[in-house]
Structure 1
Amino acid sequence: MQATGFPAPIRLRSFDRARDAWPLDPAIIHLNHGSFGAVPTAVVEQQDALRRKADLSPVEWFPRIAERVRAARERTAPFVGARPEDSAFVPNASAAATVVYNALRLESGDEILVTDQGYGAITMGAQRLARRFGATVRVVELPLLGSDDEIVERFADALTARTKLIVVDQITSPTARLLPTRRIAALAAERGVRTLVDGAHAPGLVPDAAAVAGGDWWFGNLHKWPCAPRGSALLVTETHDREELWPLIDSWAAQESFPTRFDTQGTIDATTYLATPAAIDFIENEYGWQRARETMAALADAGAEIIAEGFRPYADEEPLTPLPSPVPSMRLVRLPLGLGATREEADALRMDLLDETGVETAFTSFRGIGYFRLSAHLYSEASDFEAFVERCIPKILQRAGIRPAASVIIP
């Protein structure tokens, strides 16, 4: 049965069907844009042309790479509300966090505050920083359905005289909600505490993401929602001590100031950076970014309802999780009790279902409860979510020891 009330397949300016603009395998159902993104064919072709140019004349290409990266940075930074002179390209969000961690100096007994909704790799980096100096990492527990006021109050209660750094997500990866980072950073600044804002998911979903985030440092991935080639992110800062920030690779620009020293990184493939403006322009020219956010929200809401309805006959609690501060493109649907109770179990379920059903998914875990974190982009269609209900829900129920009905009705 076809889903009713679902937005019609999106049409772009140059494509009657948005899906035709992406080189996604039609044999796979793509419901996890949020993890690794998806690059439009036009952007893939532009990156391929840049790589070809580098291969045709390496001696022309690499000595001039800094000016090319600088030009791309100047076009990209305004997309997140930042100035080019405050922005540096880095391979991904974790690389940006590592750059900041490497610049910090702590003392024995100092504290770093992270949250229980933070991204694991970023938290691991904070733990490594703490070990270097004999500091400690303390976890601030945030209620999943807590209001912004409650979230800020948790940080206010957690701050102590020993706190030196807060690491907080602008959009949480496991729970897909927007956090009031600007208020948290302002509170921290009043206490003399610095704030690192993890905006990995924010570019494209939050207008002027870096400008509105607050904090001392912000970083965000451009290969997620802006659909740039993978390995493109920005680190943005106006801090007084940003000259202490260094690329992960020392190269011939090492004596330049921030951010220029980041524009040259030896012989890395910088085409990920150079093709990023084309990705941003692609969405704007084909559909418009504001309209894209509104459309992704409608797709995510409709898709979440289809999937939640598939689980409802077997659930002892409402599967659809109404977050207080949702983001345009991602939603949470609770799994049957006992499934995805840990990150490792959630990741294993993702890969098992991909192998068994041909559906790309994202499962997350928060406080022992597993969730399906659905992602929608302009190429998402009702049939994708119907496929999840038809192919994945029966297997999920079987894993939970629940006997599924003979057929699943899609609203």
Structure 2
Amino acid sequence: MTDAADAALPALLTRTGRPAAELWPDSGLLHLNHGSYGRVPTAATDHQQRLQREMEAAPMRFMAAAPAGIAQARERIARFLRTDPDRLALVPNASAGVSTALRSLPLPAGSEVVLTDHTYGAVRMGVERAAREAGAHVRTVHVPLAAGDDEAAEAIWAGVTERTAMLVLDHVTSVTARRMPVGTVCARARERGILTIVDGAHAPLLLTDPVSEADADVWVGNLHKFASTPRGTAVLVAHPDVAQRLVPLIDSWGAPDPFPRRFDWQASADYTAWLTAPVSLQHLEDEIGWDRVRDHATAAAAHAVDRIGAALAERWGEDTAVDLGMPVGPIRLLALPAAVTTDATALRRRLGDAGIEAQITAFGDQHYWRLAMHAYSTAEDVDAAIERALPLLAAA
């Protein structure tokens, strides 16, 4: 790592002066993709493993106590998300949360649901299934990559007709790493009596107050991404107008309870991720502070875009900059040169085989390297990416 690079991006330290990277296990891999599955701090994985041992030692006792523990976890998670715990239920992931909303709030026959062309693939499939079953229609609107708040909101609203019953929007898009003007659109939809579901998969703790910003009928978000909790932990936050209409995908002994308590017990499952989530959130707040995590991750992403983008441009003679409307600091895009393979899956596999955790996405005819940084990201990581990844891109 060069002195200049180190000066541009100093390593983040904990409150006690340790490198933040020491809070996570050393896997020997180069992590440039916290945005897909996240990474869980060692203290949290240790806590979850202790809970799993307790569960195996006395499963009946553990399961009997689980609903009360989950209710407490919900309250602690709600404080981090600045929302009311009585509006928040836990679900396995954001896609499950969207599926829950679609099942509980069925589309009327002959109605329409509006999506954008940035919609996450699994969510799109869920919406299309729900529309087929209801005899409804899916309308997809184009939002330009560079569209700002007002332009994006108008592009979305241009797809609304007198038949529109629901809007399903990304808060932070997975493929294109941009925000959508969900607050503006959701407020307008509520005036028209149109239901809104916001897929905030990437938003928890990446944004400071995402639930209030959206004010959707149903907002879902993964905690295992930027928030760094164990995988299998996500939240569904419901507006009071629709909350009691929402039921879990699994009918179990909590079914007679009101929302959100009916979600606290969904049959035999490993609930240790849910019980560990608040421990993980509090651990990173105590050791670093979430504002400092966001600031550092934003600086790391900017540094990565500058350094890797310059290296790509020098090697291929093409501009890699992306004109992105409503960008999100810690998640950034680089346009891949035309000479690089358009098989994103093969390219991700090639990088993975070389020990590089990276995400390659595509929007339209353009492929992108999506960089998602976190507290542990360093200038050394960026230099290593240039040294190790560029030859693999050249071989594509």
TM-score (norm 1): 0.92
- Rounded to whole Å, the distance in 2 between the matches of 1:60 and 1:108 is 46
- Rounded to whole Å, the distance in 2 between the matches of 1:284 and 1:109 is 48
The aligned amino acid for 1:133 is A
How far apart are 1:11 and its partner, in Å? 1.2
Over the aligned positions, Cα root-mean-square deviation in angstroms equals 1.5
Aligned to 1:248: 249
Aligned to 1:16: 18
TM-score (norm 2): 0.96
- Rounded to whole Å, the distance in 2 between the matches of 1:301 and 1:44 is 30
Percent identical among aligned pairs is 40
* SS of residue paired to 1:378: coil
* SS of residue paired to 1:365: strand
The aligned amino acid for 2:19 is R
How far apart are 1:220 and its partner, in Å? 0.5
* SS of residue paired to 1:275: helix
1:99-118 → structure 2 map (5 Å cutoff):
99-118=100-119
C-alpha offsets along residues 268-291 of structure 1, whole Å, 9 cap, x if unaligned?
Answer: 111111111111111111111112
How far apart are 1:138 and its partner, in Å? 1.1
How far apart are 1:193 and its partner, in Å? 1.2
1:189-338 → structure 2 map (5 Å cutoff):
189-315=190-316, 317-337=318-338
- Rounded to whole Å, the distance in 2 between the matches of 1:9 and 1:56 is 41
How far apart are 1:338 and its partner, in Å? 5.9
**Native 8 Å contact 2:31 2:358 kept in 1:** yes
- Rounded to whole Å, the distance in 2 between the matches of 1:381 and 1:175 is 23
The aligned amino acid for 2:374 is H
Pair 1:381 & 2:378 matched: yes
The aligned amino acid for 2:367 is G
How far apart are 1:63 and its partner, in Å? 1.2
C-alpha offsets along residues 273-328 of structure 1, whole Å, 9 cap, x if unaligned?
Answer: 11111111111111111121111111110011111011112445420224232212
Deviation larger for 308-317 or 247-256: 308-317
- Rounded to whole Å, the distance in 1 between the matches of 2:151 and 2:238 is 27
**Native 8 Å contact 2:222 2:235 kept in 1:** yes
Aligned to 2:359: 362
C-alpha offsets along residues 350-392 of structure 1, whole Å, 9 cap, x if unaligned?
Answer: 112211x211100100001100001111111112111221111
The answer for unaligned runs of 5 or more in structure 1 is: 400-411
- Rounded to whole Å, the distance in 2 between the matches of 1:62 and 1:14 is 37
The answer for unaligned runs of 5 or more in structure 2 is: none
C-alpha offsets along residues 11-58 of structure 1, whole Å, 9 cap, x if unaligned?
Answer: 1135622111101412x1111111000000000111111111111211
C-alpha offsets along residues 46-80 of structure 1, whole Å, 9 cap, x if unaligned?
Answer: 11111111112112111111100000001101211
How far apart are 1:233 and its partner, in Å? 0.5
The aligned amino acid for 1:363 is I
- Rounded to whole Å, the distance in 1 between the matches of 2:216 and 2:86 is 17
How far apart are 1:164 and its partner, in Å? 0.8
Aligned to 1:47: 48
- Rounded to whole Å, the distance in 2 between the matches of 1:337 and 1:139 is 27
**Native 8 Å contact 1:339 1:369 kept in 2:** no
The aligned amino acid for 1:347 is T
Aligned to 1:62: 63
C-alpha offsets along residues 243-283 of structure 1, whole Å, 9 cap, x if unaligned?
Answer: 22111211111111111011012221111111111111111
- Rounded to whole Å, the distance in 1 between the matches of 2:147 and 2:365 is 18
C-alpha offsets along residues 149-168 of structure 1, whole Å, 9 cap, x if unaligned?
Answer: 10011122111011111111
**Native 8 Å contact 1:340 1:363 kept in 2:** no
- Rounded to whole Å, the distance in 1 between the matches of 2:351 and 2:324 is 26
Aligned to 2:394: 397
Q: 2:27 aligns with which of 20, 25, 28?
A: 25
**Native 8 Å contact 2:360 2:369 kept in 1:** yes
- Rounded to whole Å, the distance in 2 between the matches of 1:219 and 1:340 is 34
- Rounded to whole Å, the distance in 1 between the matches of 2:148 and 2:44 is 39
Deviation larger for 173-182 or 233-242: 233-242
C-alpha offsets along residues 202-228 of structure 1, whole Å, 9 cap, x if unaligned?
Answer: 001111211211211101101111110
